[in-house]
Amino acid sequence: MSAANHAPANPTEYIQHHLVNLRTPQYDGGFWTFHLDTFWISLILGFAFLAIFGLVARRASVDKPGKFQLFIELVVELVASTTKDVFHGKSTLVAPLGLTVFVWIVLMNAMDFLPVDFLPMVASWFGLGYLKVVPTADINQTLAMSLSVIFLTLFLGVQAKGLGGFLKEFFTAPFHAESLPMTIVLIPVNAAMQLIEYGSRILSLALRLAGNMFAGELVFMLIALLGATWTGFNFGSLATAFGQIVAGSVWAIFHILIVILQAYIFMMLTIVYCSMAVEEH
């Protein structure tokens, strides 16, 4: 549905309007639909992360560190200590990955703090009817990230154990038999269990993050709808406006915890899965 000049007529249509992604016209609604808003917003935030951390690294001072430098160092130390406690392999890739995942997800989650209608309104000036500003509320984004993590764990597993050792573990764990005939019998069972485990990791990473951020985005929309009841300077409208401000402020404060916690959980599980990939079973 083209919606360049489309204005929501009721609360239901308003919510539905904000839950639709900006898509490529040639694949709109199909299986291979490409969400342009998710792609561009996440890409811009990724470059913003690199620019900010790169700038702080270049201007870092040992004698007189600024407050922002101390804050960045606190974040880096948090990820480094977590990686040291959880990951016991030799790869130097895991800590930078954990930092990237944590900060990038925090930035994408934090897009929820922008006024619900602000960026969609700006997009409408350029003829764009739809725009979802929280990339992590899109299952496509979180699923792509979780698949990337799982592929990395496969790479680390092969790197640590060799291709032969990795395949041997894949087909002989978690059920191990002493005799060769029983080992052969258990190969399909072990392979099925391993596939289920990898599949559950992918879904748990993707659905947890997307579900929490989608719910948070929906609550902000419901709070924004309170403004639609404004009928003038009367007691009912003023009370509703006051309630909207209070509800929005309380939910925003609580949502800060959700934004950071979901990023930390994704980072922690990423490090845990990498650690499990290099350990012998």
Of 23, 91, 148, 208, which one is the catalytic site residue? 208
Active site (annotated) includes residue 208: yes
Angle at 272 between CA 201 and CA 135, to 5 degrees: 55
Tokens at residue 269, please?
A: 């599980």
Of 81, 200, 204, 249, which one is the catalytic site residue? 204
Active site (annotated) includes residue 201: no
Q: Which residues have a Cβ under 8 Å from the Cβ of 7 and sit 6 or more positions away?
A: none
Q: Which residues have a Cβ under 8 Å from the Cβ of 103 and sit 6 or more positions away?
A: 49, 53, 75, 263
| Residue 161 half-sphere exposure toward CB, CA atoms < 13 A | 21
Tokens at residue 259, please?
A: 């934004």
Closest to 101 measured CA to CA, from 205, 252, 6: 205
Distance of alpha carbon 105 from alpha carbon 107, whole angstroms: 5
- Cis peptide leading into residue 174 (ω within 30°): yes
Active site (annotated) includes residue 237: no
Give, in order, the Cα–Cα distances in Å from 254 to each of 71, 80, 106, 251: 21, 27, 15, 5
Of 124, 190, 212, 275, which one is the catalytic site residue? 212
Mind telling me the catalytic residues?
204, 208, 212
